[in-house]
Structures are given as structure tokens and as C-alpha cells.
A and B are shown apart, each in its own frame.
Chain A
Amino acid sequence: MTGHDSAVDIYRQALPVILVSLVAGLFAGTLLGSETMREGISRVPGLLLLLPAFLATRGGVYGSLGARLSSGLHQGLLDPHFEWSGRLRNAIIASFLNGMIVSLFIAVLTWAVMLALGREAALLELVIILFVAALLSAVAMLGVLLPVIFKGYRRGLDPDNVIGPVVTTVGDVFGVFFLLVGIAVTEALL
């Protein structure tokens, strides 16, 4: 195989993934532009500030879990059948902790940056929103990612090729939606 891909070949190969991420981004964007979310944005100072970091964290935590599980399957370190024990359990618990710790860090960071910018921000409100959003994201991401990886692998699908699009699509759409849920929870609590 010494053939060189032409620009058209590369374009054709990459286009489906790019279009899937476009559609997912538009879904997330529509939620973000919805009236409920716009009300949330103007009511909760700092929500726009934390948005990029929150969305990037989803990619980082679950993208790396996916890459780890995929390498584990390829190396034979993991059994291709889902079993709640050993390495798999460690990897899942660790990714859950990563998501929660980093999200709470983002809440504190957002509060600090808002103060530095001379704006008002409520720490407790940000912590609750990010806690709720991170918790629900973990449930949704693990609920989608684990079956896709294990079922896909048993059917001969290389998880390396699916993790990226799955994490971006599910992460962005659910991420914004769960921020909305988090805002609703703070409204009910505070």
C-alpha cells in the first residue's frame, strides 16, 4: 500500500464524521439558543464562561475512557463481555471521579474568574449546576459508550473508530441539556 490519498479521497472519508458532528453541534446549539437556556444564561452569571470548559471536559474524560477500554480490548487485558470487576470497574469508577472532580474544579474556577473580571457570581449555584450536570452526563455517557464499545467490539467494529464521534455527539447534546437541568435544580433548591 504505497498509494497516496488525493484531497478528494480524504474529503470523502472525513466528511461523514464532520457532518455528524455538525448535526450534533446544531442540536446542542439549538438547545443553547432556546428561550429557556437564554433565560438561564441571563439569570446565572458565569454560565457562558464555564460552557467551553464543561464541554471540553466531557470529551477529555470519556474520550480517554473509550481509548483506554479500546486499547485494553485490543491487548486482551479486558474480557469482551461486560463484567463489573477488576480493571473495567476501576476504569469506570476513575472516569466518574475524573468527571466529578474536574466539573467541581470548573465551578470554583468560573466563580474566581468572574470575580477577577469584576462580575458577580454565586459559588453555591455554580457548584450545584455543575454537580448535577456532571452526574447526569456520567450516567448518559457510560450508558451509551459501554454498550457501543463492547457490543461493537464483539461484532468486529474497531472501537477506536467509533469513540470519537460517539463522545462528541452524545457529550455535546447531553452536556448542554444537563446544564439546563442543573439550572432547574438550583431554581428549585435555592
Chain B
Amino acid sequence: MSADEAHAGDELGRDHIGDWTIRNIVTTLVPLLAVLSVLQMVSGTVLETFEEALLTNPALLVLVPVMIGTAGNLGSIMCARLSTQLHLGTFEFSPTNPDLRATVGAIVGLAGTVFVLLGIASWAIGHLLGGELGLAPLLVITVTSGMLLAVWVIIVSTTAVYASYRLGYDPDDTTIPVVTNVCDITGVLILFAVVSVVL
């Protein structure tokens, strides 16, 4: 028993030292980041396709980093909350679950706040940078894409946490990086789908 424990301790110790070698860190992270970069080329291609519209309307360029960041942020809040509830054993995948309802309500509220502010700010900054896009179309663009994004984030996060729970993975390790990246990419896709309808 104690020999087993000592052995386990040994393994753990060796693991920790191995974990902190340069080679180990680089060979773990580089492939992962390379794959994510390939995925990010999807949103890059969308930006590249809309180059003309982006260059004539600087307000749209102002939107891009916020859209990318907020999508991932909302996704990580949703996932972190769901996976903590899962770990605490208080989670139930049901529309009547008060925790789930509260999280969904908060995500929608946060998205509403951010995207109204974003519409106003991008209009003001766009004007300072010499753009001519009006406040009304910008608000329509940011609020519509923001609300679509919130719904999408809720669906993706819930599905991802549920799937990783069913497959036996700890959602903390797997879900958040995946969902954050997926939300970043789809955030850009949603934004430009709305832009092409409005403009």
C-alpha cells in the first residue's frame, strides 16, 4: 500500500518535472495553436472578402476586435458556470433549471449592454476616423449580430458542456478553449452575415 503510494508520488514528481521542460511545453502547445490558427483562417477569409467594405467604413473595422473578444468572453462565462455546477453536482440539463435560466438571462443581458454600447462607440470612432456610416445602421448591425451571437453562444456552450460530460472529459480542460475559439470564429461570421444584409 505504502509502496504503491510512494510509487504514485514518484510518478507525480516525475510528471511535474517533465511538465516544466521547454521541449514538453513547446511540443504540447504548438500543435494545438497551429490547429486553432488554421480554424481562425475561416474568419480571416471572411475579413479578407469584405476588405473593400472594411476600408471604406472604418467603423466596421472598429467592430472586429470587440466582436471577436466578446464572443469568446460570453462563451467562457457560460461554460465556466455550467461546468462548475456540473462539478458541484447541482446541474440539471433542463429548461426549468433555475441556474441555467439565470445564466442564460445574464448572457442575454451582458450581450445587450455590450452591443448597444458598441454600436454607439463604433459610430463615434468611425466618424472621427473619417467614415460616413450612420448611427442607425451601426446599431442595427451590432444589436442584431449581438443577440444572434448570444443565442448561438448559449446553444454551443450548453451542447459542448453536455457532450464533454457525456464523453467523460472534464469540461474545464476541453470545453472552454474549444468554445472560446468556436465563438470567436462564428462571431465574425455572424457579424458579416448581418453586415451584408444591412449594407
Chain A hits for B131, CB < 8 A: 33
Q: Is the interface on chain B under 10, 10 to 19, 20 to 34, or 35 or more residues? A: 35 or more
> B52: nearest residue on chain A (CB-CB)?
A42
Q: Tell whether, in the assembled complex, residue A26 and residue B33 are in contact, meaning their CB atoms are under 8 Å apart.
A: no
* Contact residue among B45, B72, B73, B129 (Cβ-Cβ distance under 8 Å from A30): B129
Q: Tell whether, in the assembled complex, residue A21 and residue B25 are in contact, meaning their CB atoms are under 8 Å apart.
A: no
Min CB distance, A45 to chain B, in Å? 8
Which 7 A-B pairs give the minimum distances between C-beta atoms? A7-B105, A25-B66, A33-B58, A29-B62, A94-B25, A10-B106, A53-B40
Count A-B pairs with CB separation below 8 Å. 203
Contact with B along A48-82 (1 / 0, CB 8 A): 11111101110111001000100010000100000
Q: Tell whether, in the assembled complex, residue A33 and residue B125 are in contact, meaning their CB atoms are under 8 Å apart.
A: yes
Chain B hits for A22, CB < 8 A: 66, 69-70, 114, 117-118, 121
Please count how many residues in chain A sit with their CB below 8 Å of the partner chain's CB atoms.
Answer: 69
Of B2-10, B96-104, B156-164, the one with at least 4 CB within 8 A of chain A: B96-104
For chain A, residues 88 to 115, give those with C-beta under 8 angstroms from any C-beta of chain B: 90-91, 93-95, 97-98, 101-102, 105-106, 109-110, 113-114
Q: Tell whether, in the assembled complex, residue B69 and residue A56 are in contact, meaning their CB atoms are under 8 Å apart.
A: no
From DSSP, what is the main secondary structure of chain B's interface residues?
A: helix
Q: Tell whether, in the assembled complex, residue A15 and residue B65 are in contact, meaning their CB atoms are under 8 Å apart.
A: no
From DSSP, what is the main secondary structure of chain A's interface residues?
A: helix
Given the interface pairs A55-B65, A94-B22, the reply to whether A29 lies near B122 with Cβ below 8 Å is yes
Chain B hits for A49, CB < 8 A: 41, 44-45, 47-48
Contact with B along A14-43 (1 / 0, CB 8 A): 110111011011101110111101100110
Given the interface pairs A33-B58, A46-B48, the reply to whether A17 lies near B69 with Cβ below 8 Å is no
Interface: B21 (CB within 8 A): yes
For chain B, residues 53 to 74, give those with C-beta under 8 angstroms from any C-beta of chain A: 54-55, 58-59, 61-70, 72-74
Q: Tell whether, in the assembled complex, residue B34 and residue A102 are in contact, meaning their CB atoms are under 8 Å apart.
A: yes
Interface: B145 (CB within 8 A): no
Min CB distance, A49 to chain B, in Å? 4
In the complex, A96 Cα to B64 Cα: how many Å? 27
Q: Tell whether, in the assembled complex, residue B62 and residue A48 are in contact, meaning their CB atoms are under 8 Å apart.
A: no
* Contact residue among B22, B29, B61, B73 (Cβ-Cβ distance under 8 Å from A60): B29
Q: Tell whether, in the assembled complex, residue A110 and residue B44 are in contact, meaning their CB atoms are under 8 Å apart.
A: yes
Q: Tell whether, in the assembled complex, residue A98 and residue B30 are in contact, meaning their CB atoms are under 8 Å apart.
A: yes
* Contact residue among B61, B62, B65, B73 (Cβ-Cβ distance under 8 Å from A18): B73
Chain B hits for A105, CB < 8 A: 34, 37
> A6: nearest residue on chain B (CB-CB)?
B102
Q: Tell whether, in the assembled complex, residue A93 and residue B54 are in contact, meaning their CB atoms are under 8 Å apart.
A: no
Given the interface pairs A5-B102, A15-B113, the reply to whether A52 lies near B40 with Cβ below 8 Å is yes
Min CB distance, A1 to chain B, in Å? 10
Q: Tell whether, in the assembled complex, residue B33 and residue A168 are in contact, meaning their CB atoms are under 8 Å apart.
A: no
Min CB distance, B62 to chain A, in Å? 4
Interface: A117 (CB within 8 A): yes
Given the interface pairs A32-B65, A109-B38, the reply to whether A97 lies near B26 with Cβ below 8 Å is yes
> B29: nearest residue on chain A (CB-CB)?
A98
> B44: nearest residue on chain A (CB-CB)?
A49
* Contact residue among A7, A18, A98 (Cβ-Cβ distance under 8 Å from B114): A18
